[in-house]
């Protein structure tokens, strides 16, 4: 795979500093019941990297001390970490809003029969990737039979109240373009998804989050192989809008990998671009979450490179969807 980090200094990205920390995004490990072609972390059933109980304890202490409002769980399939349910229960006891980035099919895995009820019972917000509303495209990207099982899982979630306005059980879907193009306007695409999934499968959801593809990992490497990398970077750079800078997720989010190392965002984690070490830890290549307990990162510089234009191009894009419609 081509490394794209060395190619990320062509344009220069405006300097950014952190604001008040609101969200801790935690990668619980690379084990997954699926092995999607485009997977950023190459997750799969045979991966063994998983966040330990000790690191999960650090996460909970950090959340409590820093008064974190949102805990955003990702992976692999985060639910396959053996401590997942314990972490969710303890975070909810602290009154923290929990988001689970769920691949949907994990809800149908053997041994996970009670998972959907558990998530609903703890009022966990679900964010699920469904790259298209057609079976052919989803199965091509995510594996044969994935579309049908995803629809089955969505129906199960709907019966529990997920996706029903007023239920408080939030179910959002994620769309990425298939190739080197910016996502279409989020609102119009959401209307299409709602119409097709509703009419054909009786499925409901709350919002569609349309995210731009980042020129990193497998997607970035494919662009390099096809000689499209520079054109895609020029597209992102040309579509940059200054007004998106105030809302990029790294200003209020911190990302932790399965070993406990910290990054400004999930994209930087995938690029292996660590959080710049704060005062007292200078000279260190990497910083552990446990070393940040009790520290205030407000005003701290953010590690930016050219891939950041993926967050500020056009309508903008973050883990929470478009920044501006």
Cα distances from 115 to residues 75, 103, 106, 165, in angstroms, run 16, 13, 9, 22
Binding track over 13-32 against ligand SF4, x by CB under 6 A: -------------------x
Contact criterion met (CB below 8 Å) for 288 and 186: no
Among 138, 212, 249, 275, binds ligand SF4 (CB under 6 A): 249
Among 265, 275, 292, 323, binds ligand SF4 (CB under 6 A): 265
For the record, the structure tokens of 155 come out as 């129906």
Alpha carbon distance 204, 195 (integer Å): 9
If the CB atoms of residues 233 and 250 are measured against ligand SF4, the closer one turns out to be 250
Stretches 88-96, 114-122, 155-163, 304-312: which one binds ligand SF4 (CB under 6 A)? 304-312
If the CB atoms of residues 120 and 265 are measured against ligand SF4, the closer one turns out to be 265
271 binds ligand SF4 (CB under 6 A): no
153 binds ligand SF4 (CB under 6 A): no
Binding track over 51-90 against ligand SF4, x by CB under 6 A: ------------------------xxx-------------
Neighbours of 104 (CB within 10 A): 25
126 binds ligand SF4 (CB under 6 A): no
39 binds ligand SF4 (CB under 6 A): yes
* Shortest distance, position 37 Cβ to ligand SF4, whole Å: 9
Helices 135-142 and 146-159: angle between axes, nearest 10 degrees:
110
Pairing relation of β-strands 262-263 and 253-256? antiparallel
Report the sign of the C-alpha dihedral through residues 143, 149, 151, 154, in that order: negative
Among 233, 250, 256, 313, binds ligand SF4 (CB under 6 A): 250
Contact criterion met (CB below 8 Å) for 289 and 313: no
Residue with tokens 């930087």: 268
Chain CA centroid to CA 304, Å: 18
Binding region for ligand SF4 (CB under 6 A): 32, 34-36, 39, 43, 75-77, 103, 142, 248-250, 264-265, 267-268, 302, 304, 307-308, 311
């Amino acid at each position: 795979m081509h490394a794209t980090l060395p190619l990320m200094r062509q344009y220069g990205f405006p300097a950014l500093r952190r604001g008040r920390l609101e969200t801790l995004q935690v990668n619980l490990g690379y084990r997954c019941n699926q092995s999607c072609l485009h997977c950023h972390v190459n997750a799969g059933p045979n991966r063994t990297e998983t966040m330990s109980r000790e690191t999960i304890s650090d996460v909970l202490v950090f959340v409590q001390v820093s008064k974190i409002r949102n805990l955003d769980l990702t992976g692999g399939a985060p639910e396959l970490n053996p401590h997942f349910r314990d972490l969710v229960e303890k975070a909810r006891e602290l009154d923290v809003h929990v988001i689970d980035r769920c691949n949907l099919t994990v809800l149908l895995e053997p041994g996970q029969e009670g998972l959907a009820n558990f998530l609903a019972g703890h009022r966990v917000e679900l964010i699920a990737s469904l790259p298209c509303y057609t079976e052919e495209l989803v199965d091509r990207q995510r594996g044969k039979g994935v579309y049908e099982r995803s629809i089955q899982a969505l129906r199960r979630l709907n019966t529990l109240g997920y996706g029903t306005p007023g239920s408080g059980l939030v179910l959002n879907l994620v769309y990425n373009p298939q190739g080197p193009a910016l996502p279409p306007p989020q609102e119009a695409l959401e209307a299409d998804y709602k119409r097709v999934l509703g009419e054909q499968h009786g499925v409901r959801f709350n919002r569609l989050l349309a995210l731009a593809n980042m020129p990193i990992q497998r997607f970035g490497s494919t662009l390099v192989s096809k000689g499209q990398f520079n054109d895609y970077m020029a597209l992102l750079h040309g579509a940059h809008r200054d007004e998106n800078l105030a809302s990029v997720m790294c200003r209020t989010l911190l990302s932790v990998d399965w070993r406990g190392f910290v990054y400004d965002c999930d994209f930087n984690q995938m690029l292996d671009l660590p959080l710049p070490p704060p005062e007292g830890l200078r000279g260190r290549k990497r910083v552990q979450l446990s070393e940040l307990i009790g520290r205030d990162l407000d005003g701290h510089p953010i590690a930016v490179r050219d891939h950041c234009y993926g967050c500020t191009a056009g309508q903008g894009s973050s883990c929470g969807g478009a920044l501006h419609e």
